[in-house]
A and B are shown apart, each in its own frame.
Chain A
Amino acid sequence: MYDLIIIRYGEIGLKGDNINDFINQLVANIKRATSDLGDFEITTIFGRIFLKAEAAKINAICQRLINVPGIISLSPAQKFNYSSKKVSEFDQSDFNRLKKQVVRLFRAEVQNYPTTFKVETTRADKSFPIKSPALSRELGAEILRQVEGPETELKVDVHQPEHLLEVEIRRGKIYIFVRREAGPGGLPVKSSGKALLLLSGGIDSPVAGWLGLKRGLSLEAVYFNSPPYTSERAKQKVIDLTKILSRYGGEIKLQIPYFTAIQQAILKKCPRRYTVTIMRRMMIRIANQLAAQNESLALVTGENLGQVASQTLEGLRSSDQVAKFPVLRPLITMDKNEIIKLAKKIASYQISIRPHEDCCTIFVPQNPVTQPKLATVEYAEEELAIEELVKEAIAKMEIITINEGAC
């Protein structure tokens, strides 16, 4: 039924001279997010991106695009082909055909009655002979005449219509559409620099990564692997989560340091109640080095205030104390159900709930300390050969470059 998708971007429009860089980046990101669905023609005209595709693929593409950062909204649309040479010569027979097409589209998209609607025209191309209010009025009247009936109660509501049928006339082309789907907003990935995501197999960290992407970051990731305490399947889970992020964020270098020796050392040498606090500090220390090596400028974590014992202000402070980069925590004030909702939206949820444990859940003591004092933490980790341990973890690191969307 549809032949194209009209994509609107928001904030980018406010940028100055480098606006084209932003748009080109967004177009590249759109191509990548849909690459497994096909190779589509994408054009940009001031303020809009047009993606042409076969009708059968339009819905699948829309489902992807609603998660591509930088997109404000999108509409699957039809192009109207008029028979005259120029849009300025749009005549009565064209108008009659336009009316028919509009009615057909309305019927196909609007299923539930009684309902209300409104027709709105954007006449950016002023050579089009009929003025916007007149065109809207005539098309609206035609819809009422053709569609309204005892089973299909229909009214015009110009203030809060349930359906808005839009006609856009731009540069000699006429588009009609009824649906507007919201995108995530934000900025195109790669327009804000690079950060390192601390990724576990849980629900939170992939969402944090996606929110980072939404503000235009490009990401690298680190997963702390503790074989044999954690399984091959736990690692595969993280790889699959990285693929989800890669769909929206392009190539992601997944770095997998060997964390086993560190965990063993902590458990052998540090007080039981402090093991989680110290483990998180060791993770940050490894992340510091990886971020520096890859020229990342921040760390991103899925931490969330008060969710677990280590995520108190005291716990976060003890991590930040060893961090050499700003630690971005996009989920810090969210509730778990808000996070889950986002996880479902980006399709990471189904992967995150696979039952394989990661290193964070496997060694949790009965009563972890919730308000670690910095001085006590420092004392508690005194026995650890911190530098050597970090070095060894990185020396035995595995690197997987992920450059594909998950299926």
Chain B
Amino acid sequence: MKKEIYLDNSATTKPTESVIKAVTDALKKYYGNPSSLHSYGIQAEKIINNSRCLLADYLNINPVELIFTSGGTESNNLAIQGITKAYQQRGKHLITSPIEHASVNNVFLNLAQAGWDIDFVKVNKKGQLDLDHLNNLIRDDTVLVSLMQVNNELGTVNNLAKIANIIKNKNPLTLFHSDGVQGFAKIYTDLANIPIDLYSISGHKFHAPKGIGALYLKSGIELQPIFKGGGQENKWRSGTENVPAIAGLGAALKELPHLNSENKLAIQLTELKNYLIKELTKIDSVIINSPQQSAPHIINFSVPGIRGETMVHALAAQGVYLATGSACSSKSKGSRILKACGLDSKLSESALRVSLAADLKQADLDYFISSLKEQIDFLKLF
């Protein structure tokens, strides 16, 4: 049988059996509209409440502080658009970084066109933020700072507590949002003990279905909703709740180690990652782009001289599935994020991203490494 080694878990993950069952059960049995008055509605509402409590527990927050959305993109849009609309009387200044996900970056570009003053925190080649620079950027009229927890291409980790404290010490009124899509569950995040106001997550990055995500909104913070409608999700997000996906999200959460215990998931992933880095370092033509202290599941590396896209196709033919730095076309070669980090174009055009899941075995990684070596020999032209 052809090998199938999936190393693209930052793009999306495979839903587990219990997630699939939860989704199908909800589709078959609990098809009521959670807003309906009858028992079908009540059953559906229970599912939502159940998942909401699990997620709140995981982040150590109050369930009412969670808004279910369609995923990371909507959570980020709702946070940034919603805050800038609700707090525009406080000022016109915003801070973000140049290496945020497109669903953050493009919202800021849009706000810049609408007249907001936007500053970007400097990053180094490993994607690490210059926190002194951040401190200097914060002004009296800074309404919002949005900085991601884990960079999706490099795996660089930002310490949210440290960042939040810098912000609140400088200006207690400045709100702090973090895109936690890649960080959630891989890095324990106790939101109750961090002065953070908004935090985005996405279900399909941790084996829940696509089309479900959430935004943490700290009690007392206002938000202007994007959707006008029936006022679901405590008025923050109108639209009938995606009950099957929310059920799936709950099932996926149940499989994660609890917040107050040892993070077994992170330990497993880190072991796999360290092994892979050790093996990759042995290959002459490989250069690791991720920083040493990176997220447990992401490794970014380059094979200069071989375009990332070409290597992705070559490895896919061997049954190994990974990603380039990000999608590129002939017109814009290489990744926006790696370029923003100041990576040489030779490195960014040939960048590859491996992202792990806990069910991978060492033998899978060995197969990947040997396929990679073979393909490097085959594709090296000069």
Contact = CB atoms under 8 A, between A and B. Distances in A.
A227 B317 contact: yes
Contacts of A230: 313
B313 A227 contact: yes
B310 A228 contact: yes
B179 interface: no
Contacts of B307: 229
A232 B313 contact: yes
B311 interface: yes
B267 interface: no
A357 B314 CA distance: 15
Interface string B371-382: 000010001011
B329 A229 contact: no
Given A227-B317, A264-B381, A361 B330 contact: yes
Given A228-B311, A231-B309, A357-B330, A268 B317 contact: no
Given A231-B309, A361-B330, A268 B381 contact: yes
A368 B151 CA distance: 39
A231 B317 CA distance: 10
Highest count of chain B CB atoms <10 Å: which of A228, A231, A268, A357: A228
Contact of B381 (A228, A232, A267): A267
B313 A231 contact: yes
Nearest to A362: B330
Contacts of B310: 228-229
A228 to B, nearest CB: 3
Interface in A60-91: none
A228 B379 contact: yes
Given A264-B381, A268-B381, A228 B314 contact: yes
Interface of A: 227-232, 264, 267-268, 355, 357, 361-362
Given A264-B381, A268-B381, A228 B329 contact: no
Nearest to B331: A355
A389 to B, nearest CB: 16
Contacts of B312: 228
A270 to B, nearest CB: 12
Interface in B293-341: 307, 309-317, 329-331
Nearest to A264: B381
In the complex, the 6 A-B pairs of residues with the closest C-beta atoms, listed nearest first: A228-B313, A228-B314, A355-B329, A267-B381, A229-B310, A231-B313
Highest count of chain A CB atoms <10 Å: which of B313, B316, B382: B313
10 contacts: A227-B314, A227-B317, A228-B312, A228-B315, A228-B316, A228-B379, A229-B310, A231-B313, A355-B329, A355-B331
Nearest to A361: B330
A352 B312 CA distance: 23
A229 B330 CA distance: 12
Nearest to A233: B313
A286 B313 CA distance: 24
A264 B330 CA distance: 20
Interface string B357-382: 00000000000000000010001011
A386 to B, nearest CB: 19
A267 B306 CA distance: 14
Contacts of A267: 381
A366 to B, nearest CB: 14
Nearest to A267: B381
Interface string B135-179: 000000000000000000000000000000000000000000000
A360 to B, nearest CB: 11
B33 to A, nearest CB: 34
B268 to A, nearest CB: 31
A9 B106 CA distance: 54
Given A264-B381, A267-B381, A268-B381, A228 B317 contact: yes
Contacts of A231: 309, 313
A230 B317 CA distance: 12
Contacts of A268: 381-382
B371 to A, nearest CB: 12
A231 B311 CA distance: 10
Nearest to A268: B381
Nearest to A355: B329
A230 B313 CA distance: 8
A140 B24 CA distance: 67
A294 B261 CA distance: 70
Interface in B30-67: none
A117 to B, nearest CB: 50
Nearest to B311: A228
Interface in B6-35: none
A268 B382 CA distance: 7
B9 to A, nearest CB: 21
Interface string B219-260: 000000000000000000000000000000000000000000
A20 to B, nearest CB: 50
A273 B345 CA distance: 23
A268 B310 CA distance: 17
Nearest to A231: B313
